[in-house]
Amino acid sequence: MTLLEGKGLVKRYHSQKSEVEALCGVDFRLREGEILGVAGESGSGKSTLLKLIAGLEAPTAGTLLLRGLPLRHRRTKEEYRSMQMVFQNAPASFNPRRTILDAITGSVHSLRGKSAKVDAGALSAMVNLPPELMNRYPRQLSGGQCQRFAIARAMAVQPDILLCDEITSALDVSSQAQILSLLSKLCREKHTSAIFVSHDLAAIRCICDRVMVMREGVVVEQGTIGQVISAPKEDYTRRLVESVLQI
């Protein structure tokens, strides 16, 4: 079943002298429980698409539908809860003056109400970290630990969709692998869907069910991992795959 759908999404940015069309009519579907990868060269509009979905930016044209109902740019609290973003730079995504536990508690109370319980033990276990680390400030953690707590913060509000923008690119290879397997395991266990934006086609192949490939603000190809990465139809995808993966 379709959980989130984008129809004809356009985003134009205006600066003093020029105009950039970051998205030129993007259609996509995210199904219930799946992880959808988004690949494409730098500047192809991947982050812009996530910003529109998260409600951080308004589309110039086009519609987003969550469970068939149109999403307005001004989101309800419930819609904010339903779609949670995880960013590339995890330490910067936390308030430096709050401990991790305070940050997660603040997010849970604002989106699920003051009476919602925050179980620090369960949340830290969920991301395979000792609970005492939650009393630290972001600067007192490694990038990989911070990213796991960013995932815990997102999962703590019980979202339907995780929006992940290059969440492993700032990490070393072993932390990357841990984050990927954690994300994949949590999505399967909690039946949470995700949109996973990455330059790393190997990571996309590893954890995603389907993938869409973007170029200059349009989707050039989409399908299952088998269809798109193992047997690309478009030249652009083939070149992208060949440049990244030795196949």
Site of interaction with ligand ATP (CB under 6 A): 13, 15, 20, 22, 40, 42-48
Across the chain, how many H-helices and E-strands are there?
A: 9, 10
CA distance 57 to 54: 8
Cβ at position 26, least distance to ligand ATP in Å: 11
Name which of Mg ion, ligand ATP, none residue 55 binds, using a CB cut-off of 5 to 8 Å depending on partner kind.
Answer: none
For ligand ATP, the closer CB: 52 or 120:
52
Do β-strands 19-31 and 193-197 pair in parallel, antiparallel, or remain unpaired?
unpaired
For ligand ATP, the closer CB: 46 or 210:
46
Measured between alpha carbons, how far is residue 36 from residues 10, 30, 50, 170 in Å? Answer: 20, 7, 12, 21
Name which of ligand ATP, Mg ion, none residue 198 binds, using a CB cut-off of 5 to 8 Å depending on partner kind.
Answer: none
Name which of Mg ion, ligand ATP, none residue 115 binds, using a CB cut-off of 5 to 8 Å depending on partner kind.
Answer: none
Name which of ligand ATP, Mg ion, none residue 20 binds, using a CB cut-off of 5 to 8 Å depending on partner kind.
Answer: ligand ATP
| DSSP calls for 65-106 | EETTEEPPSS--HHHHHHEEEE-S-TGGGS-TTS-HHHHHHH
Cβ at position 11, least distance to ligand ATP in Å: 8
Show contacts with Mg ion in window 16-55 (CB under 5 A). Answer: 47
In three-state secondary structure terms, 174 is helix
For ligand ATP, the closer CB: 40 or 144:
40
Most distant CA pair in the chain, distance: 54
Cβ at position 54, least distance to Mg ion in Å: 13
Cβ at position 47, least distance to ligand ATP in Å: 3
For ligand ATP, the closer CB: 141 or 194:
194
Q: What H or E segment, with its residue span, contains residue 50?
A: helix 46-54
For Mg ion, the closer CB: 126 or 240:
240
For ligand ATP, the closer CB: 20 or 125:
20
Name which of Mg ion, ligand ATP, none residue 125 binds, using a CB cut-off of 5 to 8 Å depending on partner kind.
Answer: none
Measured between alpha carbons, how far is residue 209 from residues 110, 193, 216, 217 in Å? Answer: 32, 10, 23, 22
Pick from 222, 162, 182, 173: nearest CA to 202: 173
Residues that bind Mg ion (CB under 5 A): 47
